[in-house]
Each structure stands twice: as structure tokens, then as C-alpha cells.
Amino acid sequence: MRTRRRLPQHFFCSPSALGEISVLWADLAFARFDAVKIHSASMTTALRTWWLVQIAFALILVVSGGAQTPGQTPPSAMTMMGAPQSSALDRQNFPPLLLQQLSAVKAAALNDDYAYRELTHLTENIGPRATGSPQARAAAEYVGDELHKLGLEVRLEPLTVAHWVRGAETGALVEYPGMVAGTTQKVVLTALGGSAATPAEGITAELVTVNTFEELQALGHDKVAGKIVLFNEMFDKQKAAAGMGFAAYSEAVRYRGAGAKAAADLGAVAALVRSVGNADYRLPHTGFSFPAGIPAGAVTAEDADLMAHLSAQGKVRMHLVLTPQKLPDETGFNVIADLKGTEHPEQVVVVSGHLDSWDLGTGAIDDGAGVVIAMEAAEILQRLHLHPARTLRVIAWMDEETGGAGSKAYTTEYANDFAHYVAAIESDSGAAHPLGFSVKGTAGAIDALRPVQSVLQSVGATVLEATSYAPGADIASMADAGVPAFGVMQDSRTYFNYHHTAADTLDKVVPVELRENAAAMAVMAYALTNMKDPLPR
């Protein structure tokens, strides 16, 4: 299983298909933001174990004549293995008072909807928070004010961000085998972030459909130049349904990131990708695409099927209008709020999510949820009058989705302090039931957190899965500097139904599951600020 936990090799563009530069681009694009959140293998392990546990329980219940309580929280992998044995080290790092406080933190999270109320404001009152937008700025000011009200030391740190805005976006098939005279077929699509524009009246060109970069290369310049290329890579729904949503995503998303450049290099006039994800209500999925000087969009899975089927029968021509604009750069803000440590203020534990979202939905699962559970970690400590021994730092990151300007600016400003950071946590995989954490850290660090697993056992969030990659795009530079890094590991089975679509809205967040996420974040954060020794590196 070890090797499967690494980024799949095909996650990066094939060198043979795209050349060295594209490999580098893929690395830059995906290793730094968005798609880096690949804890699929972890999810697999956890979910597989969970199902085995469920089956085992069911068998036991059948034999014993018992009945399962409907709606109970699924036990995690660790639950079935029993509570970790308490060692002398555990007792030294987690004395009885701290364990009681951690239980109180958990109970406070499970019995309050602070995070949900904050998420409601971010998504419904403020709305989509695309990088560079007025809403992104308002969201930063709002989150800063809310954290200030809690008594934290707040600063909004300015940074320069790109400002790309969506325009008109329509598509239609205007020639295809069997077409009824005087009709066309509508294509539901959306522009990808960074896309260039067509003229206002659009372009009309022949469609060429490929499944892979290799197929595109095989066609060559002569068969691609002047045409609209559709990359029809399928999202693996079965994989997502089995809990490996991020693995399925990583396989498909490379076409979204690098497809336009590959098509442009062969003279294509526009590039389209099959929407990445398992949405099946004809919803297009946006996301960042490396600017390639040609219009780039995503068509829905249903329309990709239609276009592929008709292309297989004969000549298809398409009319495409995409008129996004790249506006002048804007000022964005990272929100940074400290609850100063009483004993070691220079030792920092970061809790974070990213405040920017895509513009189609309201960014509830990606990633308003991550921001509000980080806020709640601080809110609970203040509510319970618990004093962190080390500094708890809440960060709402700007620009995770289109280049990671927020994380880069933070690294430039604070990299010299990373030696004193005890840990960094980011939640950016949705708001579904938390299974535990992906951890980039030493075996000793994971071992030292066994008492936290015990506290989180009743939430079902006991998994601490070692990863070789940073388990959060915005905390990657800290992880690279040796700071133990944690990503909240949510159930990913339905995440890509909504991710980056117009359906990423508040109703997709289940309040009870958001409470569980707040509990996981707050318990882990307080454990890290108050365990006797900092985590070994």
C-alpha cells in the first residue's frame, strides 16, 4: 500500500506527450494548489476498513440477533482496532487535565453551530469569493472582524492577485451527422479560469475529439490546426464511489490544467475538456487552466458524450462563444489571527482553510467549510476560557484556486519563523464526515498523537495516515520546511459531485458533519498547542 499513497505517476502530464516544460507546468500547477489535495489512498484505506467493519458488525448482529441503530456515526478504522494503549510518553504529554480539556473542546464543537452560522454568512450573504473580486475582499474583512470580536490579534496582509472574470459562454453544434435542417444542438459549457476570449460573435470550427494527450499528439498539427479540441477523459465514478474521489480527480484534472496548452501548440483555435467530477445533472466544472492564448472551457459530461458520439459518426462543427476578461491585478488579503500562547508565544500552530472560491457556486464545500472550522477552533477555546500554551494562528488563505498567491506571500514573509512552528493544519477537502487526518510528519509525531485518536474516537475521526506529500496546498511550504502538516481527511465520495460547479452551495453541507469537522480541527489544534513537548520533527 505504501507506493499507492504517493501521487500517482500519471497525475503529471506524460513527458512523451507534452515535453519537459509541460511536466514542469503540471508540477507547478498541481503540486502547489487545488489538485494537490490527494489523500485518496488514505480514504481508500479508511473506507475499506470501515466497510469491513460494517460487514463484520452486521454479521455479529445477525448472529446475536441485535439491531444497528440507524444513522449512527460510522466507526473509523482505528475504532475497530480499539483504543490505543496509553504509554508513559502519552501520560507525560497528555496529563489528565489536558485530556479532560480536549473532551470539553470536542463536546463544545459537537453541540454548537458557530461554524455553520459563519459559513451561512460567507456563502449566502457574501456569496462567491473569486480571487480579485469585491466579495473576496469583503469576505476577508468579515472574517477578520469576526476573529477580532473573539479577541484574537488580527491582521489582513495584502498581496497582489490576478483578476479574471467570466463573460458570455455559449456553445452549439451547428453541423453533425443526421442534423435536422434549421436546427442546432446546445452545448452546456463554462470557461476555465485563465481562459482567453473568443471574439464577441464567437468562433465556428470543426471539432476534434481525443481521449488522451497521446491521441492528440498522434493526430499532429495537420489534423488539429484550426480546430476545436475536446479532451474526453472520463472521471472514474466507481473510484469516487469507493472513497477514492481524489484519485479519480487527479487522473482527469491534468487535461483541465494542461490541455489548452497542448492543443494550442498544435494550432487549435480552442480547447474544451470533459468536466472533471461526477456531477450528472449537466453541470459544467470550472477550475484553473494554464493560459495558453486560446479559449479554454469545460463541457458537461453529458455534452462531452454527445460530442464524442457524433464525432465518431462524421464531421462535427461547433460555434463557441467565451468572452472572459483578464482585468488589472487587484489587492487580495490573507487573514491572520493569533490567540497568543501563554507559555511559548513564538511556537505556532496554524489552523486554516482558503477563503477564495470559484465563481459559479458560493464556495461552501470548497472551501468556506475549511475557513469556518478553523475559526471555530479559536472560538471554542475562547468560549471555554482555555488558554493555548503555544500560539494558535487562524489563517484564511487567499487565492488557493488560481495560483496560490496567498500562500506564496505568507512564505515570503514568515519562512524564517517556520523553524518554530509546531504544526500546520488545513482543511480543503470538503465538509463531509471526517475520518481523521493526513499527516506529513515523522512516525514519532504520529505516535505522539495517540491520545488525540482516543479523544476523537467517538467522532469517528481517528485515522492518522502518513503521507509523502503536503496534505494541503496552502501549507505546502511549511510542510517542505519540516513543519508537521495535517490535512483534515473528509469522506470524498460525493465531493466531486459539486466541487467547482454552480452546485457548491450551503445546502451541500450537513450541519452535523460540519460539527464533526469542527471537533476534529479544534481537538487536534488544542492538543498541538498544549501537549507538553512539541511534536518531534
- Name, in order, each residue with C-beta under 8 angstroms of 222's C-beta and a sequence gap of 6 or more: none
* Residue with Cβ nearer Zn ion (118 or 367): 367
The answer to whether residues 439 and 446 touch, using CB atoms and an 8 Å cutoff, is yes
Q: DSSP code of 9? A: G
Minimum distance, C-beta of residue 400 to Zn ion, in the bound complex (Å)? 5
Maximum CA extent, the chain = 81
- Per CB under 5 A, residues contacting Zn ion are 366-367, 428
Strands (DSSP E) found in 384-520:
390-397, 421-426, 434-440, 463-466, 485-490
Minimum distance, C-beta of residue 501 to Zn ion, in the bound complex (Å)? 13
* Residue with Cβ nearer Zn ion (369 or 392): 369
* Residue with Cβ nearer Zn ion (146 or 428): 428
Q: For cell 487545488, what's the residue?
A: 34
Among residues 86, 50, 55, the alpha carbon closest in space to that of 68 is found at: 55
* Residue with Cβ nearer Zn ion (369 or 423): 369
* Residue 115, phi then psi, degrees to nearest 5: -60, -40
Minimum distance, C-beta of residue 324 to Zn ion, in the bound complex (Å)? 20
Q: What is the DSSP string of 69-130?
A: PTTPPPP-HHHHH-SPPP-HHHHHHS-HHHHHHHHHHHHHHHT--HHHHHHHIIIIII----
Minimum distance, C-beta of residue 354 to Zn ion, in the bound complex (Å)? 5
Minimum distance, C-beta of residue 33 to Zn ion, in the bound complex (Å)? 8
* Residue with Cβ nearer Zn ion (390 or 440): 440
The one catalytic residue in 302, 400, 426, 516 is: 400
Minimum distance, C-beta of residue 494 to Zn ion, in the bound complex (Å)? 16
CB count, 10 Å around CB of 132?
25
* Residue with Cβ nearer Zn ion (166 or 499): 499
What are the cell numbers at 94?
497528555
Among residues 399, 509, 466, 325, the alpha carbon closest in space to that of 2 is found at: 466
Q: For cell 453541540, what's the residue?
A: 111
CA 231, CA 449: separation in Å to the nearest integer?
Answer: 45
CA 321, CA 170: separation in Å to the nearest integer?
Answer: 5
* Residue with Cβ nearer Zn ion (90 or 428): 428
Q: What is the DSSP string of 165-232?
A: E---EEEEEEE-TTPPTT--EEE-EEEPBT-----TT-EEEEEEEESSHHHHHHHHHHHHTTSEEEE-
Minimum distance, C-beta of residue 129 to Zn ion, in the bound complex (Å)? 11
Active site (annotated) includes residue 20: no
* Residue with Cβ nearer Zn ion (367 or 516): 367
* Residue with Cβ nearer Zn ion (169 or 366): 366
CA 529, CA 422: separation in Å to the nearest integer?
Answer: 8
The answer to whether residues 509 and 46 touch, using CB atoms and an 8 Å cutoff, is no
Q: What is the DSSP string of 117-169?
A: HHHHIIIIII----TTSHHHHHHHHHHHHHHHHTT-EEEEEEEEEEEEE---E
Minimum distance, C-beta of residue 162 to Zn ion, in the bound complex (Å)? 17
N-terminal to C-terminal alpha carbon distance within the chain? 24
The answer to whether residues 486 and 438 touch, using CB atoms and an 8 Å cutoff, is yes
The set of catalytic residues is: 400
